[in-house]
Amino acid sequence: MRDKIEKLLLPALALGAFILIWQYAASHYPPEQFPTPLGVVQAISELVQQGGLWKDISISMVRLCAAYLSAVLCAIPLGLFLGRCRPCLRAIDPVVQLLRPISPIAWFPLAVLWFGIGNTPAIFIIFMAAFFPILLSTVNAVRAIPDIYYKVSRNFGARPALVFLRILIPAAFPGIMNGLHIALGTAWIHLVAGEMLGADSGLGYLIINARNYLRTDLIMAGMFLVGLLGLLLNRLITAGERLINKQWGITTQEQ
């Protein structure tokens, strides 16, 4: 009972307080500068009624999927390889360490020069945002595999292909999954940035386009939708991760 109160009532109270403070703050400004919560709700329903919203959401999702999946397909195999090949990792490490701190957004000018305005620069930026977290967590996951698994495999005479598929991949899987989780978050953040800078559709474009018309209520509506979808994506992948951790017997401190 007490647990239920803490789980539902407290967040509801906090949310209510947030809306009240927002309402209070907004009342000091003209609505075109700082819209009220109700104004944003109206803007959302306007977006829904116009019908263009679903197109923007779906195009953003397609870009996210394309970029994220290509990052997964490149980073995981490379990470598995580097995790097993110490000299290769040593060799490539300086390059990775140099590229990693560069914000994916810094690639934007080059991306537009190379690919023009449209889908590709946004996809490229999301790819850069997702690639490194997946790569590094895969490398770390492989390197953290206890030696005893290889010893047991060797003892039973397991062939390399079997060790790779049945031991290395599953042993590294929770660590990789953690990287996939982090990468999905950064990918989503950079999707909006990428679409603001180099696209003419999608949620990021929706926000930047609303600014061009000085529609702050639409800007906030767009921001709200970005937050909401990000939350949903995170929930989805967290559920997936939980399932895997449960299967693997890893107990997290949550719950």
**Contact positions vs another protein (CB under 8 A):** 148-149, 151-159, 162, 166-167, 170-171, 173, 247-251
Nearest-approach distance from CB 86 to another protein, in angstroms: 14
**How many CB atoms neighbour CB 21 within 10 A?**
10
* Rounded CA separation 192/195 (Å): 5
**Looking at beta carbons only, is 155 or 255 nearer to another protein?**
155
Q: Alpha helices of the chain — where are they, by DSSP H? A: 2-4, 10-26, 37-50, 52-84, 86-99, 108-115, 119-143, 147-155, 160-162, 169-198, 203-212, 216-248
DSSP letters along 228-246, please?
HHHHHHHHHHHHHHHHHHH
**Looking at beta carbons only, is 2 or 159 nearer to another protein?**
159
Nearest-approach distance from CB 158 to another protein, in angstroms: 4
* Rounded CA separation 200/219 (Å): 16
**How many CB atoms neighbour CB 34 within 10 A?**
16
Nearest-approach distance from CB 190 to another protein, in angstroms: 32
**Looking at beta carbons only, is 28 or 159 nearer to another protein?**
159
**Looking at beta carbons only, is 96 or 163 nearer to another protein?**
163
52: left (phi over 0), alpha (psi -120 to 50) or beta: alpha
Nearest C-alpha neighbor of 123 from the set 204, 52, 228: 204
Nearest-approach distance from CB 143 to another protein, in angstroms: 18
* Rounded CA separation 234/180 (Å): 11
Nearest-approach distance from CB 166 to another protein, in angstroms: 8
**Looking at beta carbons only, is 171 or 233 nearer to another protein?**
171
**Looking at beta carbons only, is 168 or 191 nearer to another protein?**
168
Nearest-approach distance from CB 151 to another protein, in angstroms: 6
Nearest C-alpha neighbor of 118 from the set 187, 206, 200: 200
DSSP letters along 199-225, please?
-SSSHHHHHHHHHHTT-HHHHHHHHHH
**Looking at beta carbons only, is 155 or 212 nearer to another protein?**
155
* Rounded CA separation 51/93 (Å): 48
Nearest-approach distance from CB 251 to another protein, in angstroms: 8
